[in-house]
Structure 1
Amino acid sequence: MSDYVEPAENLSEAWLRTLELVHARGGRRVNVLTTITDPLAPEDLAVRAAIDAVLVPGSHKSGTLHSVQTVASTIFPQDLYQDPHVAWAPALPDEQKKRLDEAADDLYAAYGDMLSLLCTANGNKLGTYFGRMVSWPGKEAGGYNQLADRVHYLRSAHAAGRRTHNLSDIAVGGEADPADEPLSALQDAGVQVYAPTDRRQRGFPCLVHIDLTLLDGRLSMLAVYRHQYLVTKAYGNLVGLARLLAFLAQQTGFDVGELAVQATMADTQQSDFRGRKGIEALLDSARSQGG
């Protein structure tokens, strides 16, 4: 049965409410929708500290653990983006538009330089999320840059005065594989994170789809996960998605709307973290420390 998590203003509270709901209903639920109404609202750093205290980097029976920051960087590598602190607009002076373009280009280039090495790391042999977004299919530099394409299209919409969503133009989705399709067929392809030929039932990629929707000048995002690991991955995923949405909004000049995550399977990972008591201890720590 589907579950709708009460929308939260910030991502820390959204993560907590999701973990609490799924834990209370047995530890695994299907089709769980989590919504953050203000993805750029400040995090509750005490909540992040509580989850990072559990995610001590290294080997664990659930696999290799990574900090929230490391997980977030798989979706948007914030450290590689030199924020120009200006948002795109049709009338923006050319010098400032150039700064925005250079910041994005430098991000893509820096990540491209790292991509081959990143793919040699444990768990990355099939590519990385951000690699698939900026160099599809994501194993080496020089592939199809879906983010650059979306930025270009959204800027065109902004310049034309479009402020309300248009499914054929603004939605970012689809499953076409640029390796098998001519570029002309890919203009509405959207942000790809997997190919339709992918037959794996679990493992990378858990994030399978990202949609962007424009309504009343606000850019919103929906991310679909086929298996959302609520302890080891979910908080970092929310941080990374919020940063990706902020980047796209800044580069296209739209306001930031809401961020939603649909988990076809949401999992509290009880068996990996001392059963129900372990999850309850994490929740108690996050709630007691959080503001």
Structure 2
Amino acid sequence: MHTFAVEGPDVTRAWIAACNALDRRDNPSRTGFHTVVRIADPTADDPGFRAELDRVRAGQRHEPIETVANTLFPARLAAQCATHEKLTARYRAMYQRVRGFPGNHRGTYFGRLVDYPAPNGEGIDQLAKVIYRLRQQAAGKGAMTAAYEIDIVHPRDAEAAAGHGAAATDALVHAPDRDNLFRGFPCLSHCSFQLDRSGAVHAVALYRYHYMFERAYGNYLGLGRLLAYIADRAGLRRGVLTVIAGHAQLDGPITRLRPLLSGTEPLLAA
């Protein structure tokens, strides 16, 4: 089994390190299991590098990286909303239209975070619960630093746990009663947030499968923006993002990607 754990100061260098860890002579399939990518500042990246990568992606008819990031966190919409409640209300109001876009018919990741499908038909705003609990715990003494979850919980379990001092710091994406495809949405299973008593909040995201060329760079950016948003709303500092993939694959036109991964001449997509 090929695996790796890499770190990077920003999205660009962490993504490059992860791709290079997969693109090895002793790994001809360019795949890995239980891979770990840790990003110190997941809101930062190299705009020039992203532009070059987008050119290669356009040649493969992939959507821009910004579009991928937007499925995890609608940064422009969030900037227009003074409160989290307004953001949730506006996103829910437009969610059906968003689901009409190509590839979104089963929903979006951010949709699952603010409108998680409940058995009674009511959507659950998981982010509101996470933000509230982080803010509440950070304001007290002996704050709970993590929720020790296994992915069998339901967002409403946080309400039952509230009386036992547990911090509701996980947010599910996978809905077991409806997500039964072998591939496709959702590849992201859940996000978990850890409160550092120094005043920062860190995040761990678990993917069952990660396409490094098609999705990973945009996913890293979207997750980083989501983490920054939660930290800001909770009155905390943004911490480190860790992304774990059960199975990662370096897809795409590898001969056109290698100059970018090695830091040589820029690429121009056909």
TM-score (norm 2): 0.84
CA distance in 1, matches of 2:130, 2:6: 30
Match of 2:114 among 117, 134, 140: 134
CA distance in 2, matches of 1:108, 1:269: 34
CA distance in 2, matches of 1:8, 1:253: 25
Letter in 2 for 1:110: R
- Output one character per residue of 1:46-68: Cα deviation in whole Å (capped at 9) or x when no partner: 211121111218xx5xxx62111
Match of 1:77 among 71, 74, 78: 74
CA distance in 1, matches of 2:188, 2:10: 21
- Output one character per residue of 1:123-152: Cα deviation in whole Å (capped at 9) or x when no partner: 2121110000001129xx961000011111
Match of 2:45 among 37, 40, 43: 43
- Output one character per residue of 1:141-182: Cα deviation in whole Å (capped at 9) or x when no partner: 9610000111111111122144561435xx6x744456xx68
CA distance in 2, matches of 1:55, 1:185: 45
Runs of 4+ off more than 6 Å: none
CA RMSD of aligned residues (A): 2.7
1:222 matched to 2:204? The reply is yes
CA distance in 2, matches of 1:200, 1:281: 35
CA distance in 2, matches of 1:118, 1:76: 13
- Give aligned-pair identity as a percent: 30
Q: Cα–Cα, structure 1 residues 183 and 36, in superposed 2: closer, same or farther, change >3 Å?
A: closer
Written as runs of structure 1 = structure 2, the 5 A alignment for 1:91-240 is: 102-137=82-117, 143-162=123-142, 165-167=145-147, 174-177=151-154, 184-185=159-160, 188=168, 190-197=170-177, 198-216=179-197, 217-240=199-222
TM-score (norm 1): 0.78
Unaligned runs of 5+ in 2: 163-167
CA distance in 1, matches of 2:265, 2:39: 21
Given that 2:259 and 2:266 are in contact with CA atoms closer than 8 Å, whether structure 1 keeps it comes out as no
Match of 2:242 among 251, 254, 260: 260
Cα drift, residue 39 of structure 1: 2.4
CA distance in 1, matches of 2:190, 2:153: 12
CA distance in 2, matches of 1:166, 1:29: 28
Unaligned runs of 5+ in 1: 85-101
- The total of aligned residue pairs comes to 255
Given that 1:175 and 1:192 are in contact with CA atoms closer than 8 Å, whether structure 2 keeps it comes out as no
Corresponding position of 1:16: 16
- Output one character per residue of 1:191-231: Cα deviation in whole Å (capped at 9) or x when no partner: 11012233322110011111111123221111111111111
Corresponding position of 2:165: none
Letter in 2 for 1:22: L
- Output one character per residue of 1:71-117: Cα deviation in whole Å (capped at 9) or x when no partner: 00000000101278xxxxxxxxxxxxxxxxx4322211221111011
CA distance in 2, matches of 1:226, 1:183: 24
